[in-house]
Structure 1
Amino acid sequence: MSRAFVRSVCETLPGAEVSDPWGGGHDAWKVGDKMFACIGAMDQGVAVKTADPDFAAMLIEAGDAARAPYFHKSWVLVEWGADEGFMRDRIVISYDLIRAKLPKKLRDTLVARPD
């Protein structure tokens, strides 16, 4: 897995945009100006949002993810080398969680996500 893989997943999601808000080589993927995935400058993997801190803790305890440094406890780091399908699913789920919290008016402007 790599930045290129994350890009290939994220760029297909409606309204997804990437920026480097802190400088130094971060990839912050956002929808409606809200981040759903982030690759840090240290390039260890991709940080994604989970439904809640308990689910994040379960993923960490199961060894499927690590604590995402600098993020809320509901975020996890899916490290490079993780299963490609798992990483893709976690990115898409994170996107869906963030998109669902956007104002309805903004959500309605986004094209439906292909399944």
Structure 2
Amino acid sequence: MTRSEFDMLCAVQPGAILSGPGELDAWKIGGKMFTCFGHTDTRATNDDHTVVRCADTEMARMLIETGAAGKPAYFRGAWVRLDLASLNVTEAAHRIAVSYTTIRAGLTKKAQAALPACEET
């Protein structure tokens, strides 16, 4: 998967905004990041990987332990690193949706009300 393909999957999330360039290129909802590409990680270039939020730390741990995701350099808890080269569209769309939904649910009620409605799945 390319960075451009990943960005297209992020862009379809209601109210998602791409911020950057800067230290981080991040997709945000209500001002809160749900995925990012870091410019300062010396292990890989900006377009090689992304970091997304899982629903909980147990899921993040399981993904890391099974090799489906990596441990991100500067994030803790329920965040995981995804290598774009080994990511397929279905898995990417799922990881983006989980990250987006988790971050959106953590916004204040006022911030949530100001966002476009989400489609029910």
Report the counterpart of residue 42 of structure 2 in structure 1: none
Q: Partners of 1:5 and 1:84 in 2: how far apart?
A: 8
Q: Identify the match of residue 71 of structure 1 among 71, 75, 78.
A: 75
SS at match of 2:14: coil
Structure 1 spans left out of the alignment, 5+ residues = none
Q: Partners of 2:54 and 2:48 in 1: how far apart?
A: 18
Q: Which moved more, 1:66-75 or 1:29-38?
A: 66-75
Residues 3 and 39, structure 1, Cα contact 8 Å, conserved in 2? no
Matched to 1:104, the amino acid is K
Shift of 1:17: 0.8
Shift of 1:113: 2.2
Shift of 1:61: 1.0
Q: Which moved more, 1:43-52 or 1:56-65?
A: 43-52
Residues 30 and 115, structure 2, Cα contact 8 Å, conserved in 1? no
Report the counterpart of residue 31 of structure 1 in structure 2: 29
Q: Partners of 2:15 and 2:76 in 1: how far apart?
A: 23
Q: Partners of 1:19 and 1:109 in 2: how far apart?
A: 19
Q: Identify the match of residue 58 of structure 1 among 53, 62, 65.
A: 62
Report the counterpart of residue 98 of structure 2 in structure 1: 93
TM-score, normalised relative to structure 2:
0.84
- Identity of paired residues, percent? 41
Instruction: Confirm whether residue 103 of structure 1 aligns to residue 108 of structure 2.
Output: yes
Report the counterpart of residue 10 of structure 1 in structure 2: 10
TM-score, normalised relative to structure 1:
0.88
Q: Which moved more, 1:12-21 or 1:56-65?
A: 12-21
Shift of 1:52: 2.1
